[in-house]
Amino acid sequence: MTEEVHISSLVVLTAPVRLRDVEEAIGAMPGAMVHGTSPAGKMVVTLEAETTDAMLAMVNRIQRTDGVLSAAMVYQCSDSLAAMNEEIPDAH
């Protein structure tokens, strides 16, 4: 079986007073990274998983996190691990 990598980005909206709690909860999830937040309660998150089911479980877990108002997937990519690690030559 070919190893796969699934990468997704999400915009998560939380109540501003819960922002730090939600950021910590998401940041503690294996394969999740919070890249930025705003005082209005928005955050940009990326997720990395080995399977589609694992990715969906992570998104579901974020959506059910206390303080999360919404979590919308913005981008999703999946490919084999070999293809993800393939070096692309510079055109210059």
Phi first, then psi: what are they for 28, rounded to 5°? -85, -10
Indicate whether this model's pTM tops 0.85.
no
Q: What is the pLDDT of residue 60?
A: 96
Indicate whether 28 pLDDT > 90: yes
The 10s digit of each residue's pLDDT in 48-79 is 999 889 999 999 999 999 999 999 999 887 76
pLDDT confidence band for 85 (50 / 70 / 90): low
Pick the CATH number of 4-79 from 3.30.70.920, 3.90.700.10, 3.40.228.10, 3.40.50.2300: 3.30.70.920
Domain residue extents for the chain: 4-79
Q: Which two tokens stand for residue 77?
A: 């990519």
Indicate whether 84 pLDDT > 80: no
Contacts of 43 (CB under 8 A, 6+ apart): 11, 12, 14, 19, 22, 23, 26, 34, 35, 36, 37
Q: What is the pLDDT of residue 83?
A: 59
